[in-house]
Amino acid sequence: MTESLAAALQRLHGAGGKAFVPYATAGLDGVDAALLVGYESAGAHAVEVGIPFSDPVMDGPVIQEASGRALESGTTPADAFALVQAAREAGLSVPVAFMTYLNPVLAEGVEAFLDATTGCGASGVIVPDLPVDEAGAWLAACRARDVAPVLLAAPNSTPERLAAIAGSAAGFVYCVSTFGVTGARHELSTSAEAVVGALRPITETPLLVGVGISTPEQAARACGFADGVVVGSALVEAMLAGDREETLSRARAFGAAVDGASGQE
């Protein structure tokens, strides 16, 4: 049986390792079971699969474009669940977390969505437009099904909000590295380290940095203070160009950088 997101990342964290979590948009041309398995071969410790939504408020131009193309081709949450199921059948053994928005979850029905999540072999969900203070019913439903509710912590989160996030998140806390939407950045924001530093004393949940991790060098620097990174736009950009080999080449470079940073904190 595949190890859950929470168990796998906690085990890695306890061993001093750093996590590399690459992202792919379900329904984008070329995103298939083989790509997800390829991510694992590239060094991924978990995979994040995006369920496209028409108003992806957290996402920048690259992932917005990917979501738009996926929706134009008729992609539904059922297709995302089928993608993960197919990847499991193809040999994917690392945990999977879905990333989507509240509207698709409610359209499916919370319980039905979570049942489909576990049924296809995923064990985490990220819902960036659901704030922690409105997430009580969602958190309870996730706990009842052993699904890790990954929560976001932003640079402007108050100490009180950070405490609530620390007490409620599972799998990992998604530490947003900068203000704004997802996408490439020339430099790693210093605010990322501040978010991780504020959370470190109050939670044992792994702290991963995402949004703006654009190069392997930035990933390695982030792993100097965080427990790993989530990489999205830098990989999706190559998929938008129809270049699977470039996508996997970039994933391997990120994986090697994160692996090299393990034990260096």
Pull the structure tokens for residue 101. Answer: 């928005």
Q: CA 253 from chain center: how many Å? A: 18
Phi, psi for residue 170 in degrees, rounded to 5: -140, 160
Residue 146 catalytic? no
Looking at the DSSP bridge assignments, the partners of residue 48 are 23, 97
Residue 246 catalytic? no
**Residue type (1 letter), 89:** E
Q: CA 214 from chain center: how many Å? A: 15
Sort strands 228-231 and 207-210 into parallel, antiparallel or unpaired.
parallel
Rg over alpha carbons for the chain, rounded to the nearest Å, is 16
CB-based burial, 129-152: b 16+ in 10 Å, e otherwise: ebebeebeebbebbeeeebbbbbb
Could you tell me which residues come within 8 angstroms of residue 144 by beta carbon, excluding any fewer than 6 positions away? Answer: none
Could you tell me which residues come within 8 angstroms of residue 161 by beta carbon, excluding any fewer than 6 positions away? Answer: 132, 133, 153
For residues 62 and 237, give the distance between their C-alpha atoms in angstroms, rounded to a whole number.
6
Q: Which of 3, 40, 48, 160 is catalytic?
A: 48
For residues 102 and 86, give the distance between their C-alpha atoms in angstroms, rounded to a whole number.
25
Q: Which of 59, 108, 227, 237 is catalytic?
A: 59
Q: Which residues are catalytic?
A: 48, 59
